Structure formats: structure tokens, C-alpha cells
């Protein structure tokens, strides 16, 4: 009896697996057929070379995506098969191109740009997935890093990789936008309503605005949840500045395209708002990190949160040290300056921080020069004068005295 029950159980289990597999195969076939049908409809409604190039690229993507299911689709699509399905689709596209009178050279150029869009879009998606995984790794390692040296080292490696990935995805998403607009080879103001509608569809299918928002949100999350080094903050400030600059370049174009839309006509404004939040957090983090760098090396300034305050408090601090040089032994004064010079000035503040602060508009060139001048004054105040300087001064004084003596000696002779 037990043997019979086992056989029945195994049979039912096998039947369940077979049924599940059949359902899975059916879902794959249905999804494929739906995608092909959508592309046929898209081909019928194509209005220009850009639409045709995108349909061709989407067809190539679909063929690549389902290549591993070719045997299944060959059986399901009978009397057609996988190859004939795409031959029919591309044949319809060719007819549509001829109906529209599209010039071959124009189509080839736009197709090349569409291939770039395809490649960039895939890279953006791939990096987004990897960044999600790295973000989870950061959270996990942060819990144990303080007590485990190997975990701490792993955490720093993951943080470095994640920061680089975020920067790379930022660049890719804007390259994607550039490639889309280059297909039209004209200003937005010169585009027809049909071309704008076509561009709107491309932007939506490639999730451009969603990708830009995702980039900002991930950068903000990274900044708020990760312990970073001063050099990390410097690089993030540069990245934020570059992102802001690129966004200012493309946002008017995107706003023009989305202006007539009913669903997402406020998306550009929302991205502006989100970018402002990120920029403010970068600004706050930068000044906090710079203050930590200075205070950690014995340079305690009054609180500062902008370029004016930092320049004022930093130069005032050095000015007070210069004025008090005579009240301290020479070796103590020299040691304080040398510590600052080696640990802060030459290694971080002058070569890294000041250029980035100027580049990002947080300091002016005049303020940078003023800070460098203050450090030069401090250096001069603690540097003993060379004996040669005294010798030169004495010789100069002797020359003056000798000249005066000869002058007075000649005067009586002249009167005689």
C-alpha cells in the first residue's frame, strides 16, 4: 500500500512540474508574440527615419533576448518560426521606410546612433543592478567593519567601487540623452510636433527621466549612509558639479519635449528639486569633512558653512598665530607649522580641496589666493632668517655709511 502511495505521489509531483513548465513556456511564447505584435503596430505608425531606426533596434533587442528560447518558439509559432517572424517584421519595416521616402544614408546614420542608445541603455541598466547590490553590501559590511579589520578593508573596497559606478552611470545617462537628440540633428525649437512626439516616446521607452532621478537618488543615498574619506567628498563635489552642469544643458530640451504631455510635464521640475537637495547635502558634507580634516590636525576654526566664512576664519586663525610668534619658542612654532604643512596643506588642502572648491564655485580665485598668501605669511613668520641675509644687510649699511663719509669729506675741498 505504501509503495502505491509513493508512486501516486511521485506521479502527481511530476505532473505538477510538467504543468508548471508548460505554463512557464506558454507565458514565454505569449510575451514574445505580444512584443512582436507591438513592433508590427509601431512599424505601421512610424512617421520618420528616427522611428524606423528605433523599431529596427528594438527588433534586434527582441531577437537577442529570445535567442535562447528559439527551439521553443519554433514549435509554438508553426507554420512560421523564429527566423521567419523577424524576417516578416523587418520586411514590413523596409516597406514603411520606402513609403516614407527615407534616404538610405540618413537611415544608416540614425541607426548607428540608435545602436549607441541600445548599448548605453543596457550599460545603465547593468550598472543600476550592480549598484543596488553594492549598496546592500555597504549596509551589511558597515555593521561589522568596526570590529573586524578584514570587513573594514572590504567595506572600503566596496565604497570605492560603488562611488566609481555611480559616477560612470551619471556619465552614461547623459550620453544616452545626447545620442537620442543627435538623431534629429536640429534644435528643439525647429522640431515638428510629430518629431517631438517621436522623441517623447523614445525618452519614455528608455526610461530617461526615471534614470536621471535614480542617479540623483542613489548619489544622495550613498552620501547620507556611507562613511567617506575627505578625498571621497572632494570627488563627490566634483561629480555633483559635473552632473549639475550636464543637467542644465539638457533640461530645457527635455522640458520642451514634455511640456505638451499630460502625465509627466512636471518631471523636469521635480528633478530640479531633487538635484537641489543633493547639491545642498554635498555642500554640507564638504564643509563638515574639511572641518574634520583641519580639527583632526589641531587647526580649530570657528564654525563655517560657506566660502566666505571659511576664508575669513582660516586667515584670521593664521593671522593670530603670526602675531603671537614672539611669545612662543622657535622650535614649537616651527613644529606646529610643519605638522600643518605636511599633514594638511601639501597633501590635502592646497592640491585637492582648494581647486575643487574653486571649480564648484564654493570659493573664488581671490579667496583661494588669500588663503595661500596667509599660509605663506605663516611660513615666513616661523622660518629663521638665513645668516646670509644679515651679512647682506650689514654690507648694504656699510656701503651707505662709506658713501656718506666720502661725500662729507669732499665738501670742504669743493668750497676751498
Instruction: Give the pLDDT of the chain (416 residues) as one tens digit per residue.
Output: 555 545 444 444 444 444 445 558 888 888 988 998 998 998 888 888 888 888 888 888 888 889 998 888 888 888 888 899 989 989 998 998 888 888 888 888 888 888 888 889 889 999 999 999 999 998 888 888 777 878 788 888 898 899 899 999 999 999 999 998 888 877 888 888 888 888 888 888 888 999 999 999 999 999 888 778 777 888 898 899 999 999 999 999 998 888 765 556 688 889 999 999 999 999 998 899 899 889 988 899 999 999 999 999 999 999 988 887 666 677 777 888 898 999 999 998 999 899 988 988 889 999 999 999 999 998 888 876 555 555 666 776 777 777 676 766 655 554 44
Expressed as residue numbers, the domain containing 326 is 296-384
Does the residue 4 lie in any domain?
A: no
Does the residue 117 lie in any domain?
A: no
Regarding whether 244 and 150 lie in a shared domain, the answer is yes
Q: Looking at residue 314, what is its pLDDT?
A: 94
Regarding whether 251 and 173 lie in a shared domain, the answer is yes
Q: Looking at residue 416, what is its pLDDT?
A: 42
Of the residues 290, 316, 335, which one is the last residue of a structural domain?
290
Grid coordinates belonging to 252: 530645457
Regarding whether 152 and 256 lie in a shared domain, the answer is yes
Contact 107, 46 (CB under 8 A): no
Q: Is 164 helix (H, G, I), strand (E, B) or coil?
A: helix
Q: What is the total count of domains within the chain?
A: 4
CA 56/CA 97 separation, integer angstroms: 11
Largest CA distance in the chain: 154
Per-residue DSSP letter, 385: P
Does the residue 310 lie in any domain?
A: yes
Regarding whether 410 and 344 lie in a shared domain, the answer is no
Contact 314, 362 (CB under 8 A): no
Per-residue DSSP letter, 189: G
CA 296/CA 325 separation, integer angstroms: 22
Q: Which residue has the cell 528633478?
A: 271
CA 369/CA 346 separation, integer angstroms: 15
CA 158/CA 137 separation, integer angstroms: 7
Regarding whether 398 and 352 lie in a shared domain, the answer is no
| CATH number of the domain where residue 41 is located | 1.20.58
Beta-carbon contacts of 402 under 8 Å, excluding residues fewer than 6 positions away, are: none
CA 202/CA 51 separation, integer angstroms: 9
Contact 210, 204 (CB under 8 A): no
CA 239/CA 34 separation, integer angstroms: 41
- The rounded radius of gyration (Å) of the Cα atoms in the chain is 35
Regarding whether 324 and 206 lie in a shared domain, the answer is no
Residue 199, number of CB atoms within 10 A of its CB? 22
Regarding whether 410 and 374 lie in a shared domain, the answer is no
CA 356/CA 371 separation, integer angstroms: 14
Of the residues 68, 100, 132, which one is the last residue of a structural domain?
100
Regarding whether 370 and 380 lie in a shared domain, the answer is yes
Residue 336, number of CB atoms within 10 A of its CB? 16
Regarding whether 90 and 151 lie in a shared domain, the answer is no
Exposure of 373 in the CB half-sphere (CA atoms within 13 A): 9
Grid coordinates belonging to 79: 507554420
DSSP symbols for 277-298: HHHHHHHHHHHHHHHHHHHTTT
Contact 240, 362 (CB under 8 A): no
Answer yes or no: pTM beyond 0.75: no
Grid coordinates belonging to 193: 510636433
Of 315, 54, 362, 13, give the one whose Cα is nearest residue 195. Answer: 54
Regarding whether 263 and 127 lie in a shared domain, the answer is yes
DSSP symbols for 95-162: HHHHHHT--HHHHHHHHHHHHHHHHHHHHHHHHHHHHHHHHHHHHHHHHHTTT-HHHHHHHHHHHHHH
Regarding whether 79 and 143 lie in a shared domain, the answer is no
Beta-carbon contacts of 29 under 8 Å, excluding residues fewer than 6 positions away, are: 72, 73, 76, 77
**155 φ/ψ angles, rounded to the nearest 5 degrees:** -60, -45
- The CA-CA-CA angle for residues 290, 312, 384, to 5°, reads 85
Regarding whether 64 and 28 lie in a shared domain, the answer is yes
Contact 219, 239 (CB under 8 A): yes
Q: Is 202 helix (H, G, I), strand (E, B) or coil?
A: helix
Of 270, 264, 220, 221, give the one whose Cα is nearest residue 247. Answer: 270
CA 310/CA 297 separation, integer angstroms: 16
Positive or negative: CA dihedral 323, 328, 330, 335: negative
Per-residue DSSP letter, 147: T
Contact 252, 371 (CB under 8 A): no
Amino acid at each position: 500500500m505504501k509503495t502505491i502511495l509513493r508512486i501516486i505521489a511521485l506521479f502527481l509531483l511530476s505532473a505538477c512540474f510538467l504543468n508548471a513548465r508548460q505554463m512557464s513556456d506558454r507565458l514565454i511564447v505569449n510575451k514574445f508574440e505580444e512584443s512582436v505584435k507591438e513592433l508590427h503596430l509601431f512599424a505601421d505608425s512610424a512617421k520618420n527615419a528616427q522611428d524606423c531606426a528605433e523599431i529596427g533596434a528594438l527588433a534586434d533587442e527582441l531577437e537577442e533576448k529570445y535567442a535562447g528560447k528559439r527551439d521553443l518558439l519554433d514549435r509554438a509559432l508553426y507554420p512560421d518560426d523564429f527566423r521567419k517572424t523577424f524576417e516578416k517584421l523587418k520586411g514590413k519595416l523596409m516597406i514603411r521606410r520606402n513609403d516614407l521616402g527615407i534616404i538610405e544614408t540618413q537611415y544608416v546614420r540614425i541607426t548607428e546612433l540608435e545602436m549607441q542608445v541600445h548599448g548605453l541603455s543596457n550599460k545603465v541598466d547593468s550598472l543600476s543592478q550592480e549598484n543596488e547590490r553594492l549598496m546592500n553590501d555597504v549596509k551589511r559590511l558597515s555593521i561589522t567593519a568596526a570590529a573586524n579589520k578584514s570587513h573594514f578593508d572590504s567595506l572600503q573596497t566596496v565604497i570605492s567601487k560603488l562611488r566609481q559606478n555611480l559616477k560612470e552611470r551619471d556619465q552614461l545617462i547623459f550620453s544616452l540623452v545626447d545620442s537620442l537628440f543627435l538623431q534629429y540633428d536640429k534644435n528643439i525649437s525647429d522640431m515638428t510636433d510629430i518629431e517631438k512626439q517621436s522623441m517623447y516616446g523614445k525618452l519614455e521607452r528608455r526610461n530617461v527621466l526615471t534614470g536621471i532621478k535614480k542617479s540623483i537618488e542613489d548619489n544622495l543615498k550613498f552620501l547620507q549612509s556611507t562613511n567617506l574619506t575627505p578625498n571621497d567628498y572632494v570627488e563627490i563635489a566634483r561629480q555633483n558639479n559635473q552632473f549639475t552642469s550636464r543637467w542644465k544643458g539638457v533640461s530645457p530640451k527635455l522640458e520642451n519635449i514634455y511640456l505638451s504631455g499630460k502625465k509627466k510635464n512636471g518631471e523636469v521640475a521635480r528633478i530640479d528639486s531633487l538635484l537641489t537637495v543633493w547639491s545642498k547635502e554635498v555642500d554640507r558634507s564638504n564643509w563638515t569633512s574639511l572641518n574634520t580634516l583641519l580639527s583632526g590636525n589641531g587647526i580649530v576654526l570657528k564654525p563655517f558653512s560657506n566660502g566666505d566664512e571659511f576664508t575669513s576664519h582660516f586667515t584670521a586663525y593664521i593671522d593670530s598665530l603670526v602675531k603671537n610668534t614672539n611669545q612662543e619658542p622657535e622650535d614649537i612654532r616651527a613644529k606646529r607649522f610643519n605638522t600643518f604643512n605636511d599633514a594638511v596643506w601639501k597633501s590635502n588642502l592646497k592640491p585637492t580641496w582648494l581647486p575643487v572648491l574653486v571649480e564648484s564655485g564654493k570659493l573664488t580665485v581671490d579667496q583661494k589666493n588669500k588663503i595661500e598668501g596667509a599660509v605663506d605669511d605663516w611660513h615666513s613668520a616661523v622660518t629663521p632668517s638665513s645668516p646670509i641675509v644679515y651679512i647682506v644687510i650689514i654690507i648694504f649699511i656699510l656701503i651707505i655709511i662709506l658713501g656718506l663719509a666720502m661725500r662729507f669729506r669732499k665738501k670742504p675741498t669743493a668750497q676751498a
